[in-house]
A and B are shown apart, each in its own frame.
Chain A
């Protein structure tokens, strides 16, 4: 039977949430073709993780014991490459994560296997695997095919597939690790600075500013507006990169996910995939932007095509 292989991902001793989403996608896909799902976990103590991979729909857990406690790109590449040699899966799925950005293109380059990243839908059209992803800032979708490729390596977009809650008892096998010439060495993790600043992940009401704010001097107006309205001020990446607001205020993939948020006012935020990863789940998004084509309007409940400064001026009159 053909195999879908999932590469589990862990960081600082925990499997990542994305791993469970990718498993769900694999189990979905296997129904279409009567495939089997094998989840490979590479770790210094893989048994610790495999206990948590007993998920309904998974047919096999493959433990690969490596030396490193954390991700090391050469180690992942060599071992995944060996796994592909041995198991010859037809599809390999991994999260579209920073670690995958490092190792998956290298494996694809070595094998010249089928390859696509940031995929959010997978299906079979007869025997052809079709992977759907976005282009041009989400304005287009693209269906990709992989003619003549026996193995197709895919990284999957986060927050797209719903993890499977149901547990099962899954057989575990082990695979001996390859000898690796590691050319990078982990020194340390650097945690985000702990500031006395607010924790935006706890905020129910958020007012965020993006590139549209244009100048550091303009931040103050929105700080005051957020204050008056009782909202917590957040921002998109460029604002934090410029140092106009602390990194702790950044919403998005490399910032924070605003998990507790119920109402999100987005001023001058066009809506990059990375920003939306941190807030698209919010039930009430109100977006203000001059560009009527901005991606943010596709996830917002309410859209206002207008100048953010004028709206902010007027809006402050309604709150004391």
Chain B
């Protein structure tokens, strides 16, 4: 059984950030990078399966991103797995969820994966769509926002819980192969050990482009996307009335406001 886990390096913006000259995204100089929080959980699902079933399971992290995105693969490989895949080409710049999903779907086919486990969403653009776009392109069974999963190497059907609104969950069966998007809280992601971090550097990261996967330039990037950014801008945001002063003064003011509101003046 092979499990492909797409992980994403996400950008976090600084306090004072500037928009790129074309007005369509934040200037990369103002972005810090880290692994998308959700992807720690989907990788942990894979790691647990590997630990439970050993040689019957292969787990492979995949990222679509430039050179420095390799860090997220290494952070996964530091916890387990033997090899990772990174796909990049400048033509992939400005891809939306669908264009990224084109790449992931091709890798899933090439790897003969049985399951693709994505995060439910990524905290930078938060489309909450990439995983299920992959399912659509592959025409595989799928479940979004999975909060519990029970996979075994020989099962042709698995049971998962979907986390719905307002604390309700739904238990469903899902046929294999499947794409599942994994929700926070499904497990407790581990931290990499120092030894693991050292070992990860010796592991293989296969690098390829979209054309190696048989995709044309038109199928990725802005042309392969289902929307196009007209402009990005910092919204005019309403701001709270700031309570300033020393901690003691701030606390006193909060107490006054609370007492006023609760009629306890």
Contacts and interface: CB of A to CB of B under 8 A. Distances in A.
Given A184-B141, A186-B170, A205-B262, A101 B227 contact: no
User: By CB atoms of chain A within 10 A, which of B101, B123, B132, B169 has the most?
Assistant: B132
B256 to A, nearest CB: 8
A142 B232 contact: yes
A187 interface: yes
A314 interface: yes
Contacts of B151: none
B242 to A, nearest CB: 5
Given A187-B172, A188-B170, A297-B240, A142 B229 contact: yes
Contact of A141 (B132, B167, B169, B235): B235
A265 B130 CA distance: 35
A315 B251 contact: yes
B205 interface: no
Interface in A130-151: 130-131, 134-137, 139-147, 149
A254 B167 contact: yes
B248 interface: yes
Given A135-B124, A303-B239, A146 B247 contact: no
Contacts of A172: none
* Chain B: number of interface residues, binned into ranges: 35 or more
Given A108-B133, A115-B98, A146-B227, A286 B254 contact: yes
A82 B176 CA distance: 25
A33 B204 CA distance: 55
B164 to A, nearest CB: 5
B110 interface: no
B213 to A, nearest CB: 16
A186 B161 CA distance: 10
Contacts of B252: 314, 318
A155 to B, nearest CB: 9
User: By CB atoms of chain A within 10 A, which of B15, B238, B239, B254 has the most?
Assistant: B254
A71 B174 CA distance: 14
B149 to A, nearest CB: 13
Contacts of B185: 237, 240-241
Contacts of B144: 73, 98, 101-102
Interface stretch (A83-91, A160-168, A255-263): A255-263
Contacts of B171: 186-190
Interface in A283-320: 284-288, 292-293, 297-307, 310-311, 313-315, 317-319
B126 A135 contact: yes
User: By CB atoms of chain B within 10 A, which of A104, A135, A265, A315 has the most?
Assistant: A135
Interface string B250-263: 11101101110110
Interface string A268-294: 000001000000000011111000110
Interface string B163-193: 1111111111111001001001100000000
Contacts of B238: 298-299
A34 interface: no
Contact of A114 (B161, B174, B227, B241): B227
A13 to B, nearest CB: 13
Nearest to A305: B242
Nearest to A293: B15
A240 B205 CA distance: 36
B202 interface: no
Contacts of B250: 304, 306, 311, 314
Nearest to A141: B235
A137 B254 CA distance: 27
B243 to A, nearest CB: 5
B170 A190 contact: yes
A207 B232 CA distance: 35
Given A98-B144, A190-B170, A311-B251, A147 B228 contact: yes
Contacts of B123: 137
B145 A297 contact: no
Contacts of A142: 229, 231-232
A36 to B, nearest CB: 24
A263 B260 CA distance: 11
A196 B142 CA distance: 36
Contacts of B9: none
B226 A237 contact: no
B242 A303 contact: yes
Contact of A101 (B128, B166, B248): B128
B136 A140 contact: no
Interface of A: 11, 70, 73-74, 77, 96-99, 101-110, 112-118, 130-131, 134-137, 139-147, 149, 183-192, 205, 229-230, 237-238, 240-241, 247-248, 250, 253-257, 262-263, 265, 273, 284-288, 292-293, 297-307, 310-311, 313-315, 317-319
21 contacts: A70-B170, A96-B128, A101-B132, A105-B98, A109-B135, A112-B226, A135-B125, A135-B232, A136-B125, A140-B233, A149-B226, A189-B169, A205-B262, A292-B15, A298-B238, A299-B238, A302-B243, A303-B241, A304-B242, A311-B254, A318-B252
Given A101-B145, A112-B226, A187-B170, 4 more contacts: A108-B98, A116-B227, A141-B234, A187-B173
Closest 9 CB pairs of A and B: A109-B136, A303-B240, A314-B251, A318-B255, A192-B167, A241-B185, A183-B141, A106-B136, A105-B132
